[in-house]
Chain A
Amino acid sequence: MSHNSALNQTIKILTRVPYFGGLDPEILTAIAQVAEHRAYDRDQVVFMEGDPGAGLYIVEHGWFKVVKISLDGREQAIHFLGPGEAFNAMSVFTETPNPATVIALEPSTALLVRRDAMIRLLDAHPRLARIMIQKLAARVQHLITLVEDLSLRTVEARMARMLLARGRQGEDQTVSRRRWATQNEMAARLGTVPDVVSRTLRKLASEGMIEVSRHQIKILDIEGLERVAKLE
């Protein structure tokens, strides 16, 4: 393959990477010129968790697995990477070590844009820096939303369980004192804060599972709450 067609092939791979979407051909060419081609045999380690990050990798051909190794040596796969996917982007911008170990699942190739080369490119091309900042900010926003959703979902399941337990307690004729719970008590019990309790109650009410009427939380849909209670 001639140098030019190899460069074009590299540029083609780079255009598939979300971080490089919308970049001018001139900048893509500059990145392609500093990208290193790496080949890996099956089961070959690309890099180890905890080692200093080398730079941004982009899968060219083949598949890789991202694993975490537990203290007792067990490997847990957390992600799989295929052609066109980029990984270890954070090591370009920070000096944090690799967050996981990456291993080739089969004979594979990848492009490596080393950290220092990327930094020089960012200094030389402000538009590249601007686009990467936008992409990183969008990713941060996505992760914030995901964390909020996951947190709320966990609280929702625990709240459903608590409501069912308390509601059923009230049915027991031998318990003469009915159970009241303040929002602060509910929050403490669910491991969250009153604001989240309030939002979760509103969500359950909007889904028709409960009705909040003044001081009363009335359970309308036992089966629905039981389904939510299992979602954790």
Chain B
Amino acid sequence: MMKDFNHTNPTPIIDADLCNGCGLCVTACPHNALGMVDAKAVVVHPQACEYDGCCELICPVQAIDRPFLIVMREDVKRDG
């Protein structure tokens, strides 16, 4: 699932095999970033996505997942 992931401007990953086309995520997204394509949910407007996770939360089949990158703040990295 992660191989096509945009590491620079990430959007939620939707597993097309799991997606049942219910459209709840499209309705739930407050930024209209999602749409239905061939009866499957797709991030149609990635630039509108705010990564707030409404789609992930509402999906009844857990088809949506948001990857997170864990980093250290520059000035608190330990020396040595």
Q: How far is the CB of B73 from chain A (nearest CB, A)?
A: 5
Interface residue ranges of B11-39 to A (CB < 8 Å): 13
Query: Given A180-B68, A182-B13, A183-B65, is A215 in contact with B51 using a C-beta cutoff of 8 Å?
Result: yes
> Contacts of A183 on B, CB cut-off 8 Å?
53, 56, 65-66, 68
> Are A170 and B70 within 8 A (Cβ)?
yes
Q: Which of A184, A216, A222 contacts B71 (CB 8 A)?
A: A216
How many B residues face the partner with a CB closer than 8 A?
Answer: 23
> Are A181 and B67 within 8 A (Cβ)?
yes
Query: Given A180-B2, A198-B53, is A215 in contact with B76 using a C-beta cutoff of 8 Å?
Result: no
> Contacts of B47 on A, CB cut-off 8 Å?
none
> Are B70 and A182 within 8 A (Cβ)?
no
Question: Once A and B bind, how many residue pairs between them come within 8 Å at the CB atom?
Answer: 77
Complex-state Cα separation, A132 to B67, whole angstroms: 49
Q: How far is the CB of A149 from chain B (nearest CB, A)?
A: 23
> Contacts of B66 on A, CB cut-off 8 Å?
182-183, 215
> Are B73 and A220 within 8 A (Cβ)?
yes
Q: Does A32 contact B (CB under 8 A)?
A: no
Q: How far is the CB of A179 from chain B (nearest CB, A)?
A: 7
Complex-state Cα separation, A218 to B50, whole angstroms: 17
> Are B67 and A215 within 8 A (Cβ)?
yes
Query: Given A184-B62, A222-B78, is A178 in contact with B69 using a C-beta cutoff of 8 Å?
Result: yes
Contact string against A for B residues 35-68, beta-carbon threshold 8 Å, 1 for contact and 0 otherwise: 0000000000000001101001100001001111
> Are B76 and A217 within 8 A (Cβ)?
no
> Contacts of B68 on A, CB cut-off 8 Å?
180-183, 186, 212, 215-217
Query: Given A183-B56, A194-B56, A214-B51, is A219 in contact with B73 using a C-beta cutoff of 8 Å?
Result: yes
Query: Given A214-B50, A215-B51, is A180 in contact with B62 using a C-beta cutoff of 8 Å?
Result: no
Contact string against B for A residues 207-229, beta-carbon threshold 8 Å, 1 for contact and 0 otherwise: 00001101111111110000000
* Nearest 8 CB-CB pairings of A with B: A182-B65, A166-B70, A180-B67, A215-B10, A214-B51, A167-B72, A182-B67, A217-B70
